[in-house]
Structure 1
Amino acid sequence: MLSLLLSASGEITAAGIAADTGVSVRTVHREMEDLEVILQDFGLTLIRKSGKGIQLSGPDAALEELRLYLLEEKPADYSGEDRKVYALCLLLEASEPVKLFFLAHTLKVTVATISYDLDELEPWVRKFSLQLVRRRGYGVEITGTEFDKRRAIARLAAEHLDQSDLVGHLQQPKGNPVFRMLLTAVGKNKLLDIENLLWDMEWKWTAELPEIVYMELLLGLSVTVRRIDLGKGIDGAEEAGYSRLSDHRNIAGAEHFVRRLSDTLGLEFPRTEILYVAGLFDRVQESFSSAGFAYGDIALMEIVYRLTENVGKRTGLSFQSDRALREGLLEHIDPALRRIREGTRIRNPLLGPIRKDYDYLFQVVRAAVEEMELDLEIPDEEVGFLVMHFGASVERLSQLRRSVRAILVCASGLSSSRLLATRLTKEMPQIEILRNISWYEAARLPEEDYDLIISTIDLPLEKERYIKISPLLTSEEIDKLLNYIQTITLGERRPAASPGETEPVLRDEAAMDRMKSYQGVLEEIIRLLERFRLYPLDNSGQDLAGTLSAMLETLNGTGVIGDADILLDRLLERERMASQLIPDTKLALFHTRSSHIRLSSLTLYRLHEPVVLNGEAEVAVILLMLAPRKLSKESLEVLSEISALLLNAEMVQLLEERSEPEIRRYLSSELLRFFENKR
């Protein structure tokens, strides 16, 4: 209709438009209302003359602008989700309001559809303290600070892109333009340059970050570079926003990093951007240091305990005895619940295959989750991840003799890597899974450290250096993997046997690492048990803060703690965040990690007077678990095992009633069993 009106030299009747477009005259009159809304965005109007017809009116420049929009090539059809992502990318990058008609025309939908899409996007935009502004004749735009716009872009990418999309060695695909637009918005073309420089800094803390946190940092840095490239920098007026990210512990490191980044990319970074990068560094470090102690979170422990118990009751399998399952769920569920509470979209690209191949287990886990009556709605995508953990537990078999050393890289986290590892153990016992690593570790791992990299995502590596399969390991993929091992791994990488030898001379360096890990676990167990003490504590007339302060005083002179006041604040803050009470007991676990703690410590206090938590629950016994901020994987495993024991009624009774030697003997027996099962 617009094209007809533009090409007409004068008025054109509704009947003429109807004949040319193949619709009724009534439809033409009805559509005219929508057209008038569109034309307002261009500063144009419709003139209707009775008995003559309809004509466009307005400046020649506006008419030409409309003509150019109509002539613009239209992309393929978009899904509803695609339209929203496209609109967000466009609006977050735009420097001025965008006309509704432009969005509607580009996405091949009506203005009414775009308006509906924007209605649905408003709550998402508000989560980042941004505002979606819409005014007739003005257009639509997203307003707010640059700080918040960067957060929104990084979150949008995390919700809609896989790691493989961001770091894969493949060229940027030419398919879905929305996909390309999102990759452009996060600076995909410079992301690996930024990542290589970040790794070259050789900071210990970056190497210790969990993969999901590392990707969060990398996305934040890449978005920052993209925004500066667009001329959209942080200005001085936004400096108040830094407190939301940073206490600026990393300014010196950020200055060094930004200097090298500036030289590499040819960009200027003002002081405000250096502070912003320092804030990104601070945030991920703090996130890592607190998340690493999820093992001491009793509420989380209880969720895992109830979930494994519920699934076990329905299947008749002893999931609660599977430590690997428990550890995997503990690491997965804490960030998963946080994402659900924040309203982050959960993506699980394997949901379809999971529901097909593990339908019974999916229904069981879904029912078990619903029985728990959590205060959150758990989506099917998240249930799918849980199913992968339980599927790995079902298929977990005893270790058999291996001949090929393999490294696993999985983008979907522990759930997919554990499932794939157990599927490989069952289907291909000749493969020894050395460990699961991140994509950025795989890209830098010396080739002599492994025989084979098995990945579920595209890697920034040459194709012959790894094989890509799905975590479900189909029969076709088993054949593909066998062929790869025979033709490439064994044919090119394994050393030939010397004369007279029955097997190649191959020193498994990982064996020494495993022995060191066992040694670390055993030493941590012994140190904790030797330092364990039981104190009767006279806390008469003291509140919780006074009681905790008195507990910390007992550790003065032991070499365990430094600044007790800072530790007291951290312990009280943890209680404000979530109750430390063990459910259905008078026992509480108070725990924290801090740079002011020098040695891991476990102490038990029986109070003269109960203290009140959460305004109502009384606690008579407190177990205090302290650990340094920097803690080895082995130490975390031991603390995890002790925390898990608190869900055991026998353990609780011992802590509440029995003597120090009896408690130490029980802990010794349980932790020895834990150690023996690791080997």
Structure 2
Amino acid sequence: MSVVELVCVLKKDIPVSMEHLSSVLSVSDRTIRSLIKQINTLKESQGFEVVTIRTKGYQLRVLDEQRFQSYITNTSSTVELSNRQQRISFLLFYLLQQDQFSSLQSISDIIGVSRNTLISDLEELEVVVKQIDLLLVRRSHYGIRLTGSEKAMRKAFSKFVVHSNNYISMTKDYFDFIEKVDLSELKMVLKKTLESNHLTITQVLFDSLMDHLRVLLYRVSIKNYVSTQSTSQPLNVEYVQMASTLVQWIRQRFQLVIPMEEVDYLASQIAGKTSVQWIDECEKEELLQLIDELLLLIDEEFVTKFSLDDQLKEALLMHMYPLISRMTHHMLLNNPLVDEVSSRYANVFLIALRFYELWQKQYDKPFDLSRDEIGYLALHFAGNIERAKQQALHRIKRVLIISDIGRGNLLLLKEKIQDLLPRSIVDFDSMTGIDEINQQDPHLILSTITFDVSLIHAPVIYIKEILDEQDLHQIKDLIILKTYISRNIIKQRVIADLFDSRFFRISDQGGYLELIDSMARRMMDASVASEDFAQLVMERELKFSTIYQHGIAGPHGMILNGLEDKIGVIIPRHSVVYDGKPVSIIFLMALL
């Protein structure tokens, strides 16, 4: 394992636990600690360090951005030849930076694999590039190159080159150019231009505009201009004026020739990211009313309370209005979190999809929304869910721990529960009579002792005498769960109960959709899923694939309509690829 591999895993906004690092990198805790020690010994020269976040894990901290990027560039100059996905990522990274045909022999020499291996990789690459509206062109005696519309090429260049971790030294023209250009002035000009027009945008959108300007500078410097294009709706004059101001400054500062088409394209980028600022009060009220009506429909379908959340309504307004503008100008945002959102918040992803389906019925010409955009929309609904969880925890004002363990262990147990519920008063007691327990009026009882709770007024959660981090997470989930059920005793579900040998299959043939359809029908025949389960699973999968990272798929229906909580497991021994993604294992969920 290399430093770069560790850094790539740690490049997140949240701390990463040791367990996760060991699992992802397939090394021991000791190896990781040794590597972290090595990194921190040279932190001044490398420009970054790894810090420990108490009880949470490790996090990357960049001390000097220039030194950090230089280190990554110099260290990541090779491709792991045994990893086909890395080779394909490199091919995409490499070809996006070539403005002419590249021979198969030259690419084979660069990567260091045989011609036959390269040809096999190109077949998969061809599937991948089709998903991003590009075409892999082959020409005898010339080689291969990528083609596509200017918008598709720019979008792919920004996503797979500008934001790539594959800083390959032999394809660094873009980075060499950017390193020579001081963009701090341009950043200030962009900021002042937005402020002078009374526009405030998130840091994510600001960074996205800067990414576009970086690509613009590089492309016009090599005279690769955007093609003449038209939009289905004229741009607001304010956007064109802002784009003109920025382009004029760039022309003078960098002595570049920039055609008018670039101004229009930049204006459309600004429009798609800031248009909510121009909405008038009447239109705002109409949109808020529409959002309120749609949330009521969502609440009725999914038994939720989204329509009561004013913060969610405002967030949806701030998101949907610019979204309409982006769709009008054929622009889409990339969402690096989409896999995490769709896997962690599967239900919320469905809700976001349903919300958009209801929304687009209001328009004569509905837009096809990408999985990335649905992911952003789902984040707003996920925010509501997380706020509800926090409110459930905050409602627990008094916790009583019942246990007969030693005082030392009991104090440690109390400290851990207090950290979990910082707003609660946590007391402990040995097993006493029912009346004595009720007189203390706890909102929640945590007990290491099994006893008759039929006359206890508060919910009871049975816990272990010694708790680890996983136990604390489970207790937190159970506390949240108790706000939705009426039972006094809350028992932890045994994960094994979700699996059944009847719904386990090792397959030697069949495509992805065929495999999950077959398993869905098997679950229907066994009466653990409703009669329209297979249809709803197919409907969900055809909209957006539920294949996540590392080839793990988690298909489920458009609604959770299981008759029992069961998960079907399919392990294909043959090669299965769907939507450009390999599939290693399938977990088909039929949940109540």
Measured against the shorter chain, the TM-score band is: 0.3 to 0.5
Question: TM-score with structure 1 length normalisation?
Answer: 0.35
Q: Which one has a bigger Cα radius of gyration?
A: 1
Question: TM-score with structure 2 length normalisation?
Answer: 0.39
**RCO higher in structure (CA 8 A, sep ≥6):** 1
